Structure 1
Amino acid sequence: MHPPVPANRSERVHDVDAAIRQTDSDAALARLSAVRKGYLNDRFISSLVPRAQLQPLRPPLINTGTYVRSEAIDRLVEQWLELSKPEGQLCQIVSLGAGSDTRFWRLMDGPWKEQIGAYFELDFPDVTLKKAMAIRNPRSGLSTTLGHSELDLGGQALHSSRYHLLPCDLRNPPADIFPGLFKEYLSPALPTLLLFECVLVYMSPEASSTLIQWFVDFFSPSTHTPLPGTLGCTVYEMFGLEDAFGRVMMNNLRARNVSLPGAKPYPSLESLPARFLRHGFTSAKALTLRNIRSNYIEPSELERTSSLEMLDEVEELNLVLEHYAITWAMKASSAATISPWIEWGLRPVKQA
């Protein structure tokens, strides 16, 4: 016999999820701030932030971190799309825990739009409902990019010819929800990039492992798809939180009712790519944001962003950036399909 469920259990669960959803709002406000200060170009973010014109700017430390994160992930995504051109194939991008991300609109606004076969965004139903409403708002201009679109699942889902907004709880077994959610939209035959931006760290290690494995299985050879598309994965999240600075970060998050069950198995930078190698990925690598800022961004661009505002907390910035990393991994379906994907990844730049 199970013990009685506390009367306020559902409220506690709701509160935890609300705190997680709030982290997306924080990220959207940080991006809006970085755009307004000139770090980034993004003409779409204000359409996804309520009362965007009234939001206060964020400190230089947050603006700088947001810039480094965005610059690195944008580079990985664009390189993935570029590598698919010689193959003559369109790409699929699946953004899990997409929240208020604007990447689809930014890609469709640039030279990469012809390479996108399908773009999926998955998140909590509350999040997708709000995003669908923002997209359909004629004043936002977001629906113009989509063309004809249709709402589904009571307004929580939205479909157009290339864009699909899908509601789900990624902590649930993907085998139970994904087949019906993706329907015929996701093809195992196309090169596909998964994006996890501060998502897996909020999940249990078991749930995140099951999630990744579902995609590995979906893009494995089968009788229906003997030669599946190459699978790529990009993860942005915090790690190594067992030192003094990490414990402070964890305590600050706990004060906001946010826990990070997915961080514990990854105490070091080396442990991050190991996650994907265990799932059979062909190659994997990880870099801290501090390393990316120092060695993977053009000196002229660093000079430009450094001139935007005075940054007094350089030591604190380095500590923060040292606890965030970007991991990328690639899984080829066979030895014959490894090229050109083995070239995918961030490359250091020549320093002045």
Structure 2
Amino acid sequence: MLPPPRPADPDNSIRLTDNDAAIARLSAVNKQYISDPFIKSLVPRAHLQPSRPPLINIGTHVRTTAIDDLVQQWVQISSQTGQTCQIVSLGAGSDTRYWRLATGPHKNMISAYIEIDFMENTTKKIMAIRKSKELSAVVGPEARLALGGTALHSSVYHLLPADLRETPATALAPLITIADDSSKLCLDPSIPTLLLFECVLVYMSPESSSTLIQWFSDYFSKLPQHAPLGAIVYEMFGLEDSFGRVMINNLKARNVTLPGAAPYPTVESLPSRFLNLKFTAANALTLRVIRNRYIAPQELDRIAKLEFLDEVEELDLVLEHYAITWSIMLPVNAKADPAWGRWSLTEKPRPEEDGNF
């Protein structure tokens, strides 16, 4: 008698979206849109992966450039104020940011880098790290496994398994606040801390994402003199139009839904996610606006020479449905360093604005 069929894993389709993102990033690297020497170690059979269309490569470039800018600013401002900082990447998947920061000019300014994702994803990433000399060398020889091989700890880097949709007090707090083998805090509210949500919250219910952000807000607020808490969100939004409906239907065919998109029909609505939860300030821009106004013209010229793009209108339509939101929560009863008020994307002058025609 054959064993009964195993029930389908409803989250497998969501986890597979990380594969899509990793291959898109690898394509952008291979085509020289961005630089990332570590992504190939996290993509199975990287040398056999086909390139993605120019439209995808450009979108990856815009997303990467803007988020890199905000993260680098966070680290630099922390340094200017005489502090190290912490970064918590939620739904990190195959992200390589820790390795890029740990081999960059500000590597000593990161006191803790925490990645959290499904147990299946953390297990897969641990295997890739142990297999790759490049990845394991950066993590360091002191790295140790935990939680049955689903977690990894080093002096700075922590990779932890959790379902972010579950109640943070039970699913997240035990992992992120206490190291598994000591009483040392993994997450210190007295140190500037940046939360990263790259295509994560849109897959969660609005209630779950609000509860998750609220947990971090409450955790920091308990310390009256807490350090700045920042957040960066990258995701799709405004999906009520014809383009959005096509996107939703295409994803439904892959058993992927976007419950987190409904409350945010416009880019102006995106900051409310944080302003309603004690955050001091929040801003959001579409990738289209970022590409047109917030990336240096010289860089756009370089990108334009890499591949021929005959889908400019389609590119603008796609970029108009993705946005980056950044927000910050400052202590209420303490004067924060004014440098934190400058944490933001800034417009880059266009040639005509310089008087050069």
TM normalised by structure 1 equals: 0.94
1:153-180 CA distance string (max 9 Å, x none): 1111000000000000000000112221
Q: Contact between 2:164 and 2:172, CA under 8 Å: does it hold in 1?
A: no
Q: Secondary structure at the match of 2:66?
A: helix
Q: Contact between 1:90 and 1:190, CA under 8 Å: does it hold in 2?
A: yes
Equivalent residue number for residue 243 of structure 1 = 241
Mapped to 1, the partners of 2:291 and 2:172 lie a distance apart of: 36
Is 1:49 equivalent to 2:47 in the alignment? no
Mapped to 2, the partners of 1:338 and 1:275 lie a distance apart of: 24
Q: Contact between 1:128 and 1:167, CA under 8 Å: does it hold in 2?
A: yes
The Cα RMSD (Å) is 1.2
Equivalent residue number for residue 4 of structure 1 = none
Is 1:153 equivalent to 2:147 in the alignment? yes
Mapped to 1, the partners of 2:115 and 2:7 lie a distance apart of: 27
Deviant stretches of 4+, over 6 Å: none
Alignment of 1:33-44 (within 5 A): 33-44=27-38
The structure 1 residue matched to 2:108, chosen from 93, 106, 114, is 114
Mapped to 2, the partners of 1:295 and 1:346 lie a distance apart of: 10
Mapped to 1, the partners of 2:171 and 2:331 lie a distance apart of: 24
Equivalent residue number for residue 279 of structure 2 = 281
Q: What's the offset of the Cα at 1:201?
A: 0.2
Q: Contact between 1:203 and 1:262, CA under 8 Å: does it hold in 2?
A: yes
Equivalent residue number for residue 144 of structure 1 = 137
Is 1:11 equivalent to 2:29 in the alignment? no
Given the superposition, is the C-alpha separation of residues 40 and 135 from structure 1 closer, same or farther in structure 2, using an over 3 Å criterion?
A: same
Q: Contact between 1:134 and 1:140, CA under 8 Å: does it hold in 2?
A: no
Q: What's the offset of the Cα at 1:30?
A: 0.1
Alignment of 1:1-352 (within 5 A): 11-12=7-8, 14=9, 16-137=10-131, 139-147=132-140, 148-182=142-176, 183=178, 184-220=185-221, 222=222, 225-334=223-332, 336-337=335-336, 339-352=338-351
Q: Contact between 2:224 and 2:331, CA under 8 Å: does it hold in 1?
A: no
TM normalised by structure 2 equals: 0.93
Q: Secondary structure at the match of 1:158?
A: strand
Mapped to 1, the partners of 2:173 and 2:242 lie a distance apart of: 43
Mapped to 2, the partners of 1:274 and 1:150 lie a distance apart of: 40
- Identity over the aligned pairs, expressed in percent? 62
Q: Secondary structure at the match of 1:219?
A: helix
1:202-226 CA distance string (max 9 Å, x none): 0000000000000000111x3xx33
Q: What's the offset of the Cα at 1:339?
A: 1.9
Structure 1 letter corresponding to 2:209: S
Gaps of 5+ in 1: 1-6
Mapped to 1, the partners of 2:133 and 2:314 lie a distance apart of: 37
Gaps of 5+ in 2: 179-184, 352-357
Mapped to 1, the partners of 2:280 and 2:337 lie a distance apart of: 8
Q: What's the offset of the Cα at 1:338?
A: 5.4
Mapped to 2, the partners of 1:338 and 1:323 lie a distance apart of: 34
Mapped to 2, the partners of 1:112 and 1:211 lie a distance apart of: 29
1:271-323 CA distance string (max 9 Å, x none): 10011100011000000000000000000000001100001111110000000
Mapped to 1, the partners of 2:306 and 2:320 lie a distance apart of: 22
